[in-house]
Chains A and B, each alone.
Chain A
Amino acid sequence: MPFFRKKREIPAGLWMKCPACGKMAFTKTVEESHRVCPECDHHMKVNGPLRVKQLLDDGGERLGEDLIPKDLLRFRSEGETYEDVLERSRIKSGVSEAATAARGTIEGIPVTLLAMDFSFRGGSMGVVVGERVAMAADDAYERQVPFILVATSGGARMQEGALSLMQMAKTSAAIARLKEAGLPYIVLLADPCTGGVSASFAALGDVTLAEPGALIGFAGPRVIQNTIKAKLPEGFQRSEFLLEKGYVDRIVHRSKLRDELATLLRYMHKPAAELATAAVGEADGGDASNESDES
């Protein structure tokens, strides 16, 4: 009996509770299964650094960690400055911003990866998140490798005002340049992905994947409900709904994600025309058209 009453005193970290089904599970088991609930298969949130670790072969090499958000608006709320808010978020989340960029390989295929992070201010996009996304796209462009992006965000960050909004334009311009160069861009939509992020780089994937049950949309469900004054249909704005509506290409279980990405990347090389040009240029070596093994 006292055992149950003292539930809260279970050593923190040993057990964890699934936010979906409420069942307790060994933290270690959950971590080993990519933070998917062993009971109900709920895909729990994954922070940026862990995403990078899960997806890249050797953890990869981080990019843009030196970019730190600034209080350009001198935003104050309830006597608290934006700097205070950022400091609080850094301590709470253990990351420096809501986006982690890295270069590395997926099953040997070189890529640049950017993983967003809901644990830092709800994955909201300010100047530095936008800059890290654009910088990662630039890195892929310069190295001529595919760009993989994991998107999860509540939208633009209010504390950076219109500068946050403008990151939609900045990131989309960088993605446009990448695409024009014929490089593949694959997006994974994770729970939740709404607002300014969903209406910019997250919606521009050449292939768009989604995790099961993720909330994906332009407006959040509460805003829609307040606007239309009616209850929303069951499953509205979830991955499965968007697959039906034609906006998502595949729903992928997290345990299969790495495999899926590698499989897709093996199809998505440079356009045939460019390969032909490359083949002519490297005719001596005789192996330019044999692109399947190495990259």
Chain B
Amino acid sequence: MPDASSSSTGAGTQSGRRNADYAVLDFERPIMELERKIRELKQIPDVNLNGELKPLERKRDRLLEDIFGRLSPWQIVSVARHPDRPQFMEYVEGMCDEYVELHGDRLFGDDHAISTGFARIGDRRFLLVGQRKGRDVKEKLRCNFGCAHPEGYRKALAKMKLAARFGLPIVTMINTPGAYPGVGAEERGQAWAIAENIMEMSRLDVPVICIVIGEGGSGGALGIGVGDRVLMLEYAYYSVISPEGCAGILWHDGSRAKDAAEALRLTSRDLERLKVIDEVIKEPLGAAHRDPSAMIERLKETLVKNLDELSAMDPAERMAKRYERLRGLGNDVDALDPQPELPAGKAPAKAKSKKKK
């Protein structure tokens, strides 16, 4: 059941884009003010700008550092879902010298929520698998908002096996609210498709790198998320259930998603401590949506480094390490530090009727 939420809204975004070229999150408003002033200044021709502009820009950067340095887990979820956050296709365009998409699943039909193809960065060739959410309404519908059906997972597996035959490393990019919970998906064996992928990915004898770039929604994310190394962007999240779904089940109140986001420990920092992920990829100041090209460049560097390291390893040793990593998940982990206490007045007020016997 936790594997199912498909909600991708409610992250506190404001649809208006008056002053910026990106949508604005609630906690970004103070930054907006400064950015507006900077923009206005820049529009004034001539003038001795440096005197006024530089301090303003420094002030903005300090504010960005301050705000993004202490985002709450729920704010991080909203950054991960930010409408202008770079998505799979932007990474492909920004970092690959070639992408030859391969569509066919040979079973049911092409699922646009998952794209697969041969990719090249310089002389490094690999197979790329990426979850797509879509940008405009039409594309979002086509990609089913990033919620794949069984055929998407099966296409991914078929292409990964193809890659393994030719010794190509595999790179997957995860960004999904979850696998689609619908009638057709169930009829076509969503559980079986995901399970098969997870099992097969544990054994594919080529390097496998998985990168969580936005939402790591439960089983739908893990369906392309098993490999030698799991990397995660700083403000991505990865969770067993959506915060909304968790709040609904625990407290029968989906609006308490904020509390659930805190309890679930779904941030890159916590997941690195829990050894669920291997490396956090830092985002540019103010998160990926403020500077997509810097983000793409940084991801590319990290990916290339990891590809080279894994490719240089002895295959048998690499496979043994992967098995050890998977087999040990959750076994040798220290408990996280206790959650910071909720501010006064914020403590859960509604006592649940059914408990306390």
- Interface SS of B by simple majority: loop
Q: How many Cβ-Cβ contacts under 8 Å join chain A to chain B?
A: 225
Most buried by B among A73, A154, A162: A162
Known: A170-B330, A172-B202. A156 touches B240 (CB 8 A): yes
Q: Is A180 an interface residue (CB 8 A)?
A: yes
Q: Is B351 an interface residue (CB 8 A)?
A: yes
A166's contact among B183, B276, B347, B351, by CB below 8 Å, is which? B276
A-contacting residues, B237-259, CB 8 Å: 238-241, 245-246, 249-251
Residue contact A76 to B203, C-beta cutoff 8 Å: no
User: What is the number of residues of chain B that contact chain A, defined by CB distance less than 8 Å?
Assistant: 68
Residue contact A169 to B263, C-beta cutoff 8 Å: no
Residue contact A154 to B1, C-beta cutoff 8 Å: yes
Known: A165-B239, A199-B194. A194 touches B1 (CB 8 A): yes
Residue contact A163 to B183, C-beta cutoff 8 Å: no
- Expressed in whole angstroms, the Cα–Cα distance for A247 and B195 within the complex equals 13
Residue contact B329 to A166, C-beta cutoff 8 Å: yes
Q: Which residue of B lies closest to A233 (CB)?
A: B183
Residue contact A217 to B195, C-beta cutoff 8 Å: no
Q: Is B266 an interface residue (CB 8 A)?
A: yes
Known: A158-B249, A172-B198, A172-B202. A218 touches B330 (CB 8 A): no
Residue contact B240 to A219, C-beta cutoff 8 Å: no
Residue contact B219 to A196, C-beta cutoff 8 Å: yes
Residue contact A236 to B329, C-beta cutoff 8 Å: no
Q: Is A227 an interface residue (CB 8 A)?
A: yes
Q: A residues within 8 A CB of B1?
A: 154-155, 194-195, 219-220, 222-223
B-contacting residues, A52-105, CB 8 Å: 70-80
Q: Is A280 an interface residue (CB 8 A)?
A: no
- Expressed in whole angstroms, the Cα–Cα distance for A233 and B183 within the complex equals 9
Q: Is A131 an interface residue (CB 8 A)?
A: yes
Contact flags A187-223 to B (C-beta < 8 A → 1, else 0): 0000000111011111110000000000011111011
Q: Is A115 an interface residue (CB 8 A)?
A: no
Q: Is A44 an interface residue (CB 8 A)?
A: no
- Expressed in whole angstroms, the Cα–Cα distance for A198 and B198 within the complex equals 12
Name A's B-contacting residues (CB within 8 A): 70-80, 126-127, 130-131, 134, 154-158, 160-170, 172-177, 180, 194-196, 198-204, 216-220, 222-224, 227-228, 232-233, 236-237, 245-247
A-B contact pairs, 12 of them (CB 8 A): A72-B330, A162-B238, A166-B330, A169-B326, A170-B326, A173-B202, A173-B327, A174-B327, A200-B198, A216-B191, A218-B185, A219-B186
